[in-house]
Amino acid sequence: VAHNVLHTLWLFLTKYCFFLSEGSDCIKANAQSCGECIQVAEKCGWCTDADFLKQGESKSARCDELKSLITKGCSKAKIENPRGSISIDKDKPVTNRKKDVAEKLKPDQITQIQPQKLSLNLRSGEAQTFKLKFKRAEDYPIDLYYLMDLSFSMKDDLENVKNLGTDLMREMQEITSDFRIGFGSFVEKTVMPYISTTPARLLNPCTSNENCTSPFSYKNVLKLTENGQQFNSLVSKQQISGNLDSPEGGFDAIMQVAVCGDAIGWRNVTRLLVFSTDAGFHFAGDGKLGGIVLPNDGKCHLENNMYTMSHYYDYPSIAHLVQKLSDNNIQTIFAVTEEFQPVYKELKNLIPKSAVGTLSSNSSNVIKLIIDSYNSLSSEVILENNKVPEGVSIKYKSICKNGVVGTGENGRKCSNISIGDEVSFDITIESQKCPSQGKSETIRIKPLGFNEDVEIVLNFICECECSKGGEPLSKICHNGNGTFECGACRCNEGRIGRLCECSTDEVRTDDLDGNCRKDNGTDICSNNGDCVCGTCECKKRENPEERYSGKFCDCDNFNCDRSNNKLCGGHGRCECRVCICDANYTGSACDCSLDTSTCLAANKQICNGRGTCECGVCKCTNPKFQGPTCEICPTCPGVCAEHKECVQCRAFETGEKKDTCQRDCSYFNLIRVKDRDKLPQPADQSYPLSHCKERDANDCWFYYTYAVRNDTMREVYVVETLECPAGPDIIPIVAGVVAGIVLIGLALLLIWKLLMIIHDRREFAKFEKEKMNAKWDTGENPIYKSAVTTVVNPKYEGK
């Protein structure tokens, strides 16, 4: 029990403290205008009623929770509480495109994400949620650019790539009917120590009489094309080059492929970049070895399809590369040898929507690698957004295939998506404050690797509607020292006070303080407030429901009498330390109820007719009676026993009082009824009624009711016939006794016979056993003497 009590108390305190901490936010903000108020929290409202404030209350008292404002007397129609909203400006449905349909759609006619544009009206602290749908379209166009390392170690790989164009196109026909392919190559920066700059090595960087082309940083060999034969032809003409160090300048090439969209020929379709190498990579900072210190500018520098600024700009950083690949919706496939798998897998973790495949030593498996990597990339959708304004947050919740739900970082993505599958995302956007300029902001959300996005226009609710009708330089605001809007004055710069009546330079002068002292006392604002411009502005308490008021802050609503640990007994409100009771309640603590329903006894009489009802509680006037309704009388004899003798003598002329019946028992009216059903019932009466059942000297029962009507008139209803028990029937009793004796005797004989049979059988069995164990042998009996005597004649010689 103690544990339950402590647990309940803990819950109460938790909820109470939570209420205090939540409810005080609006008041603690000390908002001086409606605009400031609605930016505090979603729950805060502003009362525009010009007569709302009581004497001693500051303007900030207009800003509070809606329930508190209504409790204080502000009508709902006078409360400003704007709400956020969502409007969909462009909502083109996702495309249901089939590969085998004769009519083909252009890339810009295909929609994979819905809606495409929204407008959100955001209020501080109020989140807005909308649903975004994504569906992978069938037969979606693909652009694939093959970027290959042409350093000397890739010589055998180049041979296998020469037929890549037609072979890859044939395989990609299973995925899309609109496929284009391009080719580029890279080696290294053309400065020391990455390559040898001797004239001979610049012409042919290879040794062992190998015929190699001059080193270069990046070359765009073939713009994206649908002609696979052209790809094979141009790639067949490519020659291997060489460099000095092992890491290659592939990052320079990737940057140019990403930013030189026109030169590469990228369309607004799925963009794949296949990066093929058997070595590592240089990144930002490595250019210092060659005296290159300028950071990569992330711009296109192709002249005649050659990167011309490799000697001028450093390698790009990984972060810079990630940004440009994302901005241009390019998905990267790293086709690298087994040796460099760990390095590029770490790189993959830094580049969203990228994949790593293991390239065989001679690139013979490159087509399978590309197909597998594309399937892996396209089966996953990951949402990203550009930079959001300060104070704005975005949360994602994914509803993926088979109803799988993801939240947090997993809420941004869905995996294992097949062509034609539709997934959705619940996107929640919340603003915690208005931007400094109060302007609209635009953010974009898009799936990585896709050219489509959702444009979201954020409009911030920073002012109330009522402020549009404000009156600048209003006479109400101390002769034009402020704008009268939303029922209050918004003071001009340098002015303060409820009516902007005071300058900030005058807020603490003795003359003004004198107006804040009650009865010329010493306490300013009764020590419960501050004197501002000669007017008391009362302090705020931690509990927003408790407040000081009055001209001198000498009143409050929390120091009234309490009952049952409740202010004004919970049946009134406290005004200036005096309880104003609700209807049907009175008393200094509103603890005296005028309702008499709690004093009604079971007979519907107030206090059972034996007391008075005071403050909803019975005060029994008869000391013998007690209880909440004066119905309990522990020392009273039972009503039935008290009146038994009189009822018996008057109704049946029997009993102990039959001789004195006329004298002692004439205090009630006797009414006879034929049977018990005719007796009055308690539910039918509005006066005390008792049902009685008593027994006389002959063991006969009689039934009656005793009632008191109007405290004086007594009535007794009695059933006119006695219920006497019938006499015993002798014959059945004697027959029963005799039958019982006979049966008992037979039973005893049967038991004796049974016991004798059991005993005989046991004795017989014992005899049989001893008989079996007896031994009848021929041994000599020591006391046996034969009857025959043999005499031998000694003289006899046998003749």
Of the chain, the percentage scoring pLDDT greater than 70 comes to 91
Question: How is residue 455 annotated by DSSP?
Answer: E
Q: Are 182 and 257 in contact (CB under 8 A)?
A: no
Could you count the other beta carbons within 10 Å of the beta carbon of residue 102?
A: 5
Token couple for 62: 């207009």
- pLDDT tens-place string over residues 616-642: 889 888 887 888 888 777 666 677 887
What integer pLDDT is reported at residue 406 of this predicted model? 92
Confidence of residue 3 (pLDDT cuts 50, 70, 90): very low
Identify the top-confidence range among 154-163, 310-319, 510-519. Answer: 310-319
The label of the residue with tokens 């270069």 reads: 216
What is the pLDDT at residue 28? 77
| C-alpha span between 294 and 192 (Å, rounded) | 16
Q: Give the chain's mean pLDDT.
A: 84
Question: How large is the average pLDDT for residues 772-777?
Answer: 66
CB-based contact 134:424 (threshold 8 Å): yes
pLDDT in tens, 689-708: 788 888 888 888 888 888 87
How many Cα atoms are found within 13 Å in the side-chain-facing hemisphere of 429?
27
Contact 74/52 with Cβ under 8 angstroms? yes
In the prediction, which pLDDT does 728 show? 72
Q: What is the pLDDT of residue 509?
A: 52
Tens of pLDDT, residue by residue over 16-72, are 443 344 446 787 788 888 988 999 988 999 999 988 887 767 788 889 999 889 988
- The dihedral sign for the CA sequence 127, 130, 132, 133: positive
C-alpha–C-alpha distance, residues 382 and 734, integer Å: 103
Position 436 scores a pLDDT of: 76
- The answer, yes or no, to whether residue 286 has pLDDT greater than 50, is yes
Specify the pTM: 0.58
- Cα–Cα separations (whole angstroms), residue 778 to 147, 595, 775: 127, 121, 10
Q: Are 413 and 406 in contact (CB under 8 A)?
A: yes
Query: Taking 80 as the threshold, does the pLDDT of residue 652 lie above it?
Result: yes
DSSP 315: P
CA distance 654 to 764: 76
- In the chain, what are the helix, strand and coil shares in percent, each to the nearest 5? 30, 25, 45
pLDDT of residue 7: 45
- pLDDT for res 22: 43
Q: Which residue has the higher pLDDT, 363 or 226?
A: 226
- Number of DSSP helices (H) and strands (E) in the chain, helices first: 16, 42
350 vs 799: which has the higher pLDDT: 350
User: What confidence score (pLDDT) does residue 99 get?
Assistant: 58
pLDDT range class, residue 685, cuts 50, 70, 90: low
Q: Which pLDDT does position 635 carry in this prediction?
A: 66
Q: What is the pLDDT of residues 111-148, one digit of tens each?
A: 889 999 999 999 999 999 999 999 888 888 899 999 98
pLDDT at residue 129, rounded to an integer: 95
Greatest mean pLDDT among 346-355, 651-660, 712-721, 769-778 lies in 346-355
Residue 622 burial (CB < 10 Å; 0-12/13-18/19+)?
Answer: middle
Q: How far is CA 553 from the centre of its chain?
A: 43
pLDDT of residue 258: 95
At 490-547, the pLDDT tens digits run 888 888 777 887 877 765 555 566 778 788 777 778 888 877 777 788 888 878 778 8
Please report which confidence band the pLDDT of residue 666 belongs to, taking 50, 70 and 90 as the band edges: confident
- Could you tell me whether strands 488-491 and 482-485 are parallel, antiparallel, or unpaired per DSSP bridges? antiparallel
What does the pLDDT read at residue 45? 92
Q: Which residues contact 233 (CB under 8 A, 6 or more apart)?
A: none
The pLDDT assigned to 8 comes to 45
Asked if residues 213 and 278 have their Cβ atoms less than 8 Å apart, the reply is: no
**Weakest mean pLDDT among 318-322, 507-511, 654-658, 769-773:** 507-511
- pLDDT tens across 191-215, in order? 888 887 778 777 777 876 777 888 8
- Give DSSP secondary structure letters for 212-236: -PPP-SEEEEEEEES-HHHHHHHHH
| Other Cβ atoms closer than 10 A to 543 | 14
Q: Which pLDDT does position 243 carry in this prediction?
A: 80
Span 231-248, pLDDT tens digits = 888 888 888 888 877 788
Of 747 and 507, the structure prediction assigns the larger pLDDT to 747
Q: In sequence order, what E strands does 66-170 have?
A: 79-80, 85-90, 113-114, 117-122, 128-135, 142-149
For residues 217 and 290, is the Cβ–Cβ distance under 8 A? no
Q: Are strands 142-149 and 179-186 parallel, antiparallel or unpaired?
A: parallel
- Whether 254 shows a pLDDT value over 60: the answer reads yes
Residue 779 has pLDDT above 60, yes or no: no
> Which amino acid, residue 303?
E
Taking residue 732's Cβ as centre, other Cβ atoms within 10 Å add up to 9
pLDDT digits (tens, 9 = 90+) for 433-481: 888 776 789 999 999 888 889 999 999 998 898 888 888 888 888 888 8
Q: Is 537 helix (H, G, I), strand (E, B) or coil?
A: strand
DSSP 570: G
Q: How confident is the model at residue 85 (pLDDT cuts 50, 70, 90)?
A: very high
Neighbouring residues of 341: CB distance < 8 A, sequence distance ≥ 6: 356, 358
- Answer yes or no: are the C-beta atoms of 107 and 268 closer than 8 Å: yes
